[in-house]
Amino acid sequence: MVVEPDVPPGRPGRLKVFLGAAPGVGKTYRMLDEARRRVERGTDVVVAYAECHKRRHTLDKLDGLEILPRTRRIYRGGEFEEMDLDAVLERRPQVALVDEFAHSNVPGGRNAKRWQDIEELLAAGIDVVTAVNVQHLESLKDVVEKITRVPQQETVPDDVVRRAHQIELVDMPAEALRRRMAHGNIYAPEKVDAALANYFRVGNLTALRELALRWVADQVDEALQKYRSEHGIGGVWETRERVVVALTGGPEGETIIRRAARIADRSVGGDLLAVHIARSDGLAAGSSSAALARQRTLVESLGGSYHSVVGDDIPTALIEFARAENATQLVLGTSSRGRLERFVTGRGRGETVVGLSGDIDVHMVTHERAGRGRLLPSRRRTLSTARLIAGPVSGLVLPVLLTLLLDHTRGSLNLTSEALLFLLAVVGVACVGGVVSAVVASVSASLLLNYWFIPPIGAFTTTLNSVLATVVFAVVAGIVAAVVDRSLRLSRRSARATAEAETLSSLAGSIVRGDRAIPALLERTRETFGMDSAELTEQPVVDDGSVVQVPVGEQAHLVLRGRTLPSSERKVLTAFAAHVTVAVERARLAEAAAEVEPVKAADRMRTALLAAVSHDLRTPLAAGWAAIASLRSRDVDFSDEDRDELLATADESMARLSRLIDNLLDMSRLQAGALNLSLRATALEEVLPTALESLPPDGPLIDIQHLDAVPAVLADPPLLERVVANLLSNAARHTPPGETVLLTASTLADRVEVRVIDRGPGMPAEDRERAFVPFQRLGDTDNTTGVGLGLALSRGLTEAMAGTLTPEDTPGGGLTMVLSLPVADLREPTGSNTGSVPDA
């Protein structure tokens, strides 16, 4: 047996917390199970306080554990049990079990809260194992109250829980917890249905579970960051995706933020962090404080966080921030600098960041400012403006600089080498400035070579050698310039062809995807050709010199305004017009299909109606007809009892026939949108008696709960009565003998939820939506139950009253129909439903 050593003097005790995602998940059970394991290892463990809520399985875990007696306190005429803090300190065990971490002590002790008692035990060197539910964390109190509509009176500061040596989450899926509740393993049987309909809704439990998982994940993340910091670990540990987006305050910011958010959303729990690197001198080229403010708002709206970091070396500061946050991906906007600027200033910040990133993935996001410039390269100019200016200037300056250099080295090179150097200078100028620059450079180079390097030095000569040098220079420069010019033209054509192909490819893709095809195509056309506007018109417009228009189909024109297009761009515009034509035709066909769809739906409805009427309406009609025919017969002498039975049969058949016809008429009104509503404040007790009268007398019992504890709803009373009657009738039909149907109500935010709960066979999840389709019986072969309009009509009437009707599983078996309707007037509720849920 392993015996743990005594607590060293002066060492504070260690705290372990079992954090429950919701009441009833089993945190006290797990806490006691932990105690038994420690006892088996030889640890001195006492149970200072454990709240088992009379649950048999939890009480069994107390067997064999030392339980300290509790102290009793009198408060306001009642007697309450509390943990005896002094007894625990006097006993001084190695480990003390103290349940209900957030509990408020009854006045009379020296501490107001139990967590303060636990801190005394820890200060005395006693290890403590405790338990608490996530709804009792101080930071989540208002969030939980908003979700569950139940106020939390007892809380514990988050910082106290964070200081725990170990936090263990006790979790359970919502449906499993509801089944545990239905089996009576959490609350007493008389409280189960109310709890399931209120606090223990699937949505509530799922939200509490997510809160608990996120809270624990944040604590784990903090612990990981602390460990990495203490051990000097700078590398990226990809425990979860963290996407850092770098912002400059430029117009491209929103584009790269949204791209980064999409990257973060691809992984569960991914974090989005936006960072702006500000220089220490406060200068930031291209940065706009207003744009940064807008971008910060966008980041926060997407669930991210915004950070500002000071650093003069922006790439280094960005990488250091990313590593400090354990970022896995970094998103940057591509540089907006031109080629000449990049040539002069060297590689940009993006390239530097990529070089420093190491194991961090870097995404360079392209961005375009709508309407700025053209997407398609121009064919008019083969050289940029900068090169057209720099070429002639270098043609004059470079030969002069070379002459000064060679003059200092006179005598070390022969004339041939000097001529080759001048020729190299001419080639360089030709590469920069083309033909004109090459001519300028060749003339200046030949003159300088003739004057300074060909004897006689310092004078121009017209010898054969000097003339030949000039001619050679001119010819070579012309050839090189022609080659450079031709390569530039070919490169430009290739770039344009590539741009046209990419543009048309993306254009075709947008047609295939077809989301808002026509507006998207018009906007894409406007951006591509750098126009002010693009629109479709039925008639051609007057051309004032800035209008370009092409026909689209036979009855429309694509009109662009802004500038005159050259013929080369008009060819691409024709392709755009063809795609617009296709989009217009598709829109026309979609509109025609939409017009046909109601006809098809009506035809399907008519077919289903005829199929239903062929038998279901004939059955009660035949029965009533037969009863009346028998009564009219003079061949049979009926007794009074027989006559009453035939009249009852006829009456029942006619009533059933009337209900079927009413349902069919109401369904047709719903389909046609011709249902007249009279909405007003309606109490549930107002419509319930009439709804109950429609149920068969030999049906199951209806257990009604909490109807008087909810406010009035905004509804049409006769229609609400029909809905409730249909739901009760459906539940009664599927309830086994000996079982009851439960009708309960509760409030959720500004709505009232009515639940009709049966213990029948239930309904498979894949069939639930089909159950609301008219004339669906889902395998029900009993033709006496109707034509399959009950649920379809109920949902239609409910939605007409701004409500919802959804099916849910009944824990333990069966089906629960949830009818949700808006509250009529929140200021005048007829009751309240704010009872608290005890901790468990």
What pairing do the DSSP bridges indicate for beta strands 361-365 and 547-552?
unpaired
Q: Are residues 686 and 671 in the same domain?
A: no
Is residue 376 included in any domain, yes or no? no
Q: For 409-455, what is each residue's pLDDT tens digit? A: 777 788 777 777 877 887 778 777 776 777 787 778 777 877 777 77
The residue among 505 and 483 whose pLDDT is bigger is 483
Q: Are residues 49 and 181 in the same domain?
A: yes
Q: Are residues 664 and 691 in the same domain?
A: no
Is residue 247 included in any domain, yes or no? yes
Q: In the prediction, which pLDDT does 552 show? A: 78
Q: For 721-732, what is each residue's pLDDT tens digit? A: 888 888 888 888
Q: In the prediction, which pLDDT does 47 show? A: 94
What CATH number has the domain bearing residue 707?
3.30.565.10
Cα separation of 283 and 275, whole Å?
Answer: 17
Q: Are residues 162 and 276 in the same domain?
A: no
Is residue 517 included in any domain, yes or no? no
- Going from the C-alpha of 318 to that of each of 142, 193, 273, 338, 443, the distances in angstroms are 36, 56, 12, 23, 52
| Closest of 274, 488, 523, 218 to residue 379, by C-alpha | 488
What is the mean predicted confidence (pLDDT) over 320-346?
Answer: 68
Half-sphere exposure of 257 (CA within 13 A, CB side): 27
Q: Are residues 225 and 283 in the same domain?
A: no
Q: Are residues 483 and 338 in the same domain?
A: no
Q: For 85-126, what is each residue's pLDDT tens digit? A: 999 999 999 999 999 999 999 888 889 999 999 999 999 999
Q: Which domain holds residue 434?
A: 385-492
What CATH number has the domain bearing residue 81?
3.40.50.300
- pLDDT of 244 strictly over 60: yes
Q: At what angle do helices 202-230 and 174-182 cross, to 10 degrees?
A: 130
| Closest of 362, 361, 363, 357 to residue 234, by C-alpha | 357
Q: For 566-599, what is each residue's pLDDT tens digit? A: 766 777 777 777 777 777 777 778 777 777 776 6
Q: Which of 623, 658, 675 is the last residue of a domain?
A: 675
| Local confidence band at 344 (pLDDT 50, 70, 90 cut-offs) | very low
Q: Are residues 662 and 694 in the same domain?
A: no
Q: What is the tally of structural domains in the chain?
A: 5
What CATH number has the domain bearing residue 595?
1.10.287.130
The number of angstroms, rounded, from the C-alpha of 656 to the middle of its chain's C-alpha atoms is 49
Is residue 264 included in any domain, yes or no? yes
Q: Would you tell me how many other CB atoms lie within 10 Å of the CB of residue 372?
A: 9
What pairing do the DSSP bridges indicate for beta strands 15-20 and 166-170?
parallel
Return left, alpha or beta for 84; rule: phi > 0 is left, psi -120 to 50 is alpha, else beta. beta
Q: Are residues 53 and 124 in the same domain?
A: yes
Q: Are residues 392 and 341 in the same domain?
A: no
Is residue 319 included in any domain, yes or no? yes
Is residue 834 included in any domain, yes or no? no
What CATH number has the domain bearing residue 308?
3.40.50.620
DSSP string, 265-299: HTSTT-EEEEEEEE-TTS--TT--HHHHHHHHHHH
Mean pLDDT of the chain: 76
Q: For 702-715, what is each residue's pLDDT tens digit? A: 888 878 788 889 98
